[in-house]
Every structure is written in C-alpha cells, then in structure tokens.
Chains A and B, each alone.
Chain A
Amino acid sequence: MRFGVVRFPGSCDEVDALGACGRVGEAEILWHGDRDLRGVDAVVIPGGFSYGDYLRVGAIARFSPVMESVTAFAREGGPVLGICNGFQVLCEAGLLPGALLPNVGLRFLCRQLEIEVVDAGTAFTGACAPGDRLSIPAKHQAGRYYAPGEPRVVFRYAHDGNPNGSSNDIAGVANEGGNIVGLMPHPEHAVDPLTSSTDGLRLFESALALARA
C-alpha cells in the first residue's frame, strides 16, 4: 500500500508522517502545488503551520491545488487522515464537521497523553477495539474542538486529560463514511520505542489492513 503525505509551505511533521507511513507501507510526499495524487491509496495531511497559519489555522491551506484532489479523493471514499494542522485543514475544507478553536489556556501545549478509541469502525481505527487506550503526544495551540450537532467521535482524551478544553473531551472525529479521520494528537510521533510509545502505529496499520481487505 502507498501513502501520500501532503507538504504545504510551513508543514513541520510531514517527514515524521512519512516515516510512520513507511513503517507499514510505502510513502511519498505530495507537493501542495500539484493536483496529482500519484495514485496513492491513502492521504495524510500532516501537522505543522501551513502557510504560517495566518488568518486562521488551516484557512489558507484548504485553497491549495492539492486539496482539490484530496477533496475529490475523499468524497470517493479514499482514506484521508488529518493530524493536528491536517485536522484543522480538513475542518476548514468542510471534509470534517466542526472547527478547532484556541486552547482554553491560550498557550501552546506539548504533552504525552492517553486517548481512548471510541469508534473502531473508521479507516484508521480498524486495528483497534473500542475502549483501547493509546499513549500519543499532542502539541498544539488551537486544539479545542467544537461542532454543533453530534459528530462521529473517534477518539476522546482519557483520564480527565483534556488539554485544550475540547467539547466532550473530543480528540478526533470522522466523517459519516468513516473514511476521513482527523485528530489533534500525533500518532506519527508514537511509532518508535526509542522516542515514545508505539501506539500510534495502530492508525497506520488500520489503513494497511483496510487496503488489503
């Protein structure tokens, strides 16, 4: 299986995401100015500060040429994972419901925390079971999720560990089809026992299992 990782100007975690994808399959960078998704099987929108996050987080990146193709790919059911800034971009692009507001503390926060898998039926949680706890770092300044209505919740912060004031402790959501998932914590930074836990690999393995199914 082949992952494509989008690189915007200002992306920071694309190389880490590339490495994480590379642990379960093949992976390549997709340039923001290209519409060609090069036939990848899944797309990852990585973390960072696309276009400096000027105006509003993710607001400019959604207008990049590559997002036109990602949107079409997602609407056809292609698996798309948005991590941190990628989650913000997917919300801005209307591929996921809701928005991400500044943290309640108004500060950037970097912390290893646990999230609980709520929904194991998405493209990126198939290898998990509901109730599983994953130890994954989070780092962001605008991670307070808010959505009217009832979004499809995929992850919640566990142990009262909500770091940003997100509504209902939501750490990640999916679209109705379950093929598009966004989360604030960084699974690509939890794939190597030398630097963290390896719990984040489960998300990438889920996509692999789906591709093979």
Chain B
Amino acid sequence: MSQNNDSNNHGDERATQPGSPQSGGGKSVSNDEILDDSGRRTFLQRAALGGGGALLAGGAAYGFVNSEIKGKPVSDYPMIDEAIFKPKDQRATVLAFAHSQNLGDRYPERTTQYSRLHNKDFDFQEGFADMYAIPWDNNKPGYTQKDRALQQAGWEPLKVAGSRMVANLQPNTPLHSWDQSDVEKEQYQFDGEKQASDSIKSAARVFGAVKCGIAKRDRRFDYDPLYDPENDRNLSWEDDFPFEPKTVIVMLSPMDYDCIATAPAWTADGTAADGYTKSSVLANQMAKFLRGMGYHAVGAGNDLGSSVPYGILAGLGEGGRNGALLAPGIGPRHRICKVYTDFEFVEYDRPYTWGMTEFCLSCGKCAEACPAEAIPLPASKDGGYGFEPTYEFSDEPGYTWNNHLGIRKFYSDSKKCYNFWVENGSACGACIASCTFNEPDVWHHIFVMGITPKSPAVLHGWMAQLHPAFGYGHTGDPKKAEKFWKTGEGMRTNSDMKNNIGTSNKS
C-alpha cells in the first residue's frame, strides 16, 4: 500500500469516526467498513511496528542493565598513601585484640584510652564473655531464648570443628589447617588459565559460594606479622607459613535477607554465625580441592589477610561506607572467605566498579542506622572517605590503632562497634541490613542497581532517601523478628535454593 493510500484512508476514517459531527446525516460508516482489507493491513502493520518497537526498546533497556550489572574494570585500586601505609599487624585488629588476654595485658592503654574518652568502664577482653551472658527476654522479639538458640546453633558446627575462633582471626584452626601433608604428589595440568579459573569457580559453586573471584596475592593486604591469639605467638609468612602463596581465591557465602533484617536483634546473628560456618566449610573444601590437584592451599576466614581488599582485587565488589565489601546483587549481606594457594596458572580477576562506592559518598544509610555511631556520616570531613580516619577522637594519639592507615576508603571506629555488640548481647549487623545495596534478588532491585552507575551523583542522596520510603532497610524493628520467624511458614521446598524442581532461578 502506498503512503498516499494510507493518508487517504486515515482522512476517511477520522471523518467518519463514531461520535464525530459528521457521523450522522447518512455519512456514517461502521467500524467494519472502516477496517476494510487495506485498513486491517494498516492496523496490523502499525501494531507490528509499535509492538516491535516497544519490544526492541525493552530489549535495549534489558541489555543496558545487564551490561551495567557486569561492572566496569578500574585501574586505580588500591589508592595508597605510601607516606603512612604499612602492612597491618594482626595484633592491631579489634577482634584479635579482644580475644587475647595476652594482648590486653600487653597493650592496656588501648582499653584505658577508650574507657577514658568514652567515659565508660569497658574491657575489650571481658566483653566477649559478657556479650553472651546477657539473659534472654521471651517478651522481647529478637531477644528471646529462640533467637539465642538460633545464634548458638549457627556457630555450633564451627565449635564442634574447633574452628570457632576463626571469626576472631585465629589462624590454623582445624577447618583452616596449615597442614599440607595431604597434597597430591602429581599436579593436575590444565589446558589453559581460563580452564583453570573456570574449574575453580565451578567447584566454588558446588561448595555453596554465591560469588567467587581470583586475585593475585598482594602482600599489602596480608597481615604481617600473623598472630596466633590462642598461643600468643607471632607467625611469619617466611618461616611459619607452609608455602609461599601466589594466588588468593576469594569466595562469598550469602546471609539470609529476612534474618539480617532483624538487626541489631540477636536473630540477625543467627545468619551471621551460619555465614561464618558456611564460609569456613567453603574455604576448607576449596583448599582441599586444590591440594587434591597437587597444589598447596590453606583456607582462611578473617585471618591471614584483610578480606575486603582481597574481595575488591578479585572483582567481587567495592568498598562500602560501612567498611564491608559491597557485592552487586547482595551488597554487604555475605561472609568472605579466602584460600591462599601457590597455584598461579589461572586467569586472574581484576577490580571492578558498579558505582557503589561513589553512591556511598551521598548515601550514609548505614551510618544513620549504626547504633554505635561508629560509621562516618556523609556530612563528616571528606565524607569519611580518605586515607585515614576522621571519626571522633581519631586525632588522639594511638586511638586509631585498629585501622589500616594509608588506603583510600571509609574508616569506621570498630572499637565502638564491638562495644555495642557487648552491650547488645550479640553482634549487630544494622549496617548490613540498612545498606541500600542489600536487596533480595528480584528484578526491580537489579534494575535500580543497573541504572545507579549512570545516574548523576546529585540524585544519589535522593535515591538513598527513597530506599526507606519504599520500606527497605529499617533496623531495630521488633516486627522484623516476628516476620522472620514466619518465613518458613508452610515450607515444603526452600525457594532460596536452586536445582529444586520448580524453584530454579528463584534464589
């Protein structure tokens, strides 16, 4: 049909439409007549064009979001101020310090200074015992006997395995053993580096990792010296560690969305403890897998090296304001484990950005939610993002002993964080639950995640405000605990897990 015919038809149709002034007086033409053969063709042509165009636009939007979700490689990580940077002494981490009476006796000023500045009688070493000694209250949702039981059950496999202290940076526990006596004599030879990486990641998937990346070992992020809190002994990479690591495999174990949403209630620590257990098993299995292929390997939790920068180096996420690794899709709702190995014939991952760290500059929802006020607000000096801490008392000599200075990141006061744990009777997790990147794996969150990098920074603060407005990220709400305890209602199949009939792609 020619264009002229089209336009003629159009004119006729408009002139005789029902309800128009010309529709009466014998000039009326019924719809059936309007849509004669050529009209039908026009209708179908336009419908196909319009529908096809809409589908194309939808496909383009899907492709755009998909592309953004993959992130963009960055070359400026890590940003180091060499003047103040030095390797991190493992003894100068809050959890290792708090769980070693020997360190407490050796560095008493850390405790006295904290107590003096915050005007409270706080003891880091006694805190751990005090934390779990707080009695439950069955009339207080989130702090009942059931919540305490969930928390203890989460830790139990690690206790049975003798590896509970890995969360407190204890190296060489049974699940993270340095023993290399079971390394196969014959080394499996891969056809190529990509095949090796794919194989490692396939194994990680089977073992339960939600994400896996492979980084080159970076001495700047290894604790040096290493420290064994149980035996109060410094350990050397050269003399004590069983081999020279070349590669660090980083894996993430997911935590439950509804459980962490109860933070800072004890319930939330149930999934944190479970995450530690799962990540320890994961590291143990991956290390064994590598030893089975004839390569040295040692699994690690919080020990051996700083997990967040290794996660960034492995391309798994970005550093967040709350000090956690923000992984696209789950944000900070995960536990990190690492495997140090001398296997180096792999395709290494590299740091990526999804615009999350930049978003953190304007967001600050974690800082607002932090009951300890340990996280810098966006309004603080440099937005809290720099090469050294800017939080309260950070200019007091020696007060920032727990921070790794000289790396550009968000510095939080983890001493105050730990102090709140002790008062709360459990680890907290409010900064995880409130994070705007902590979302269930549902399409609209992925969509927002996809458009975030391209959205102007001026909108980020506004987007952060919409997060709670839409009902996400509230913490300290007793109803969240009640809701969590109903998430198993009528469950016959766990839809969080793949490979169950009818639940594929629902996790």
Partners in one complex: no
Interfacial residues, chain A to chain B (CB-CB below 8 A): none
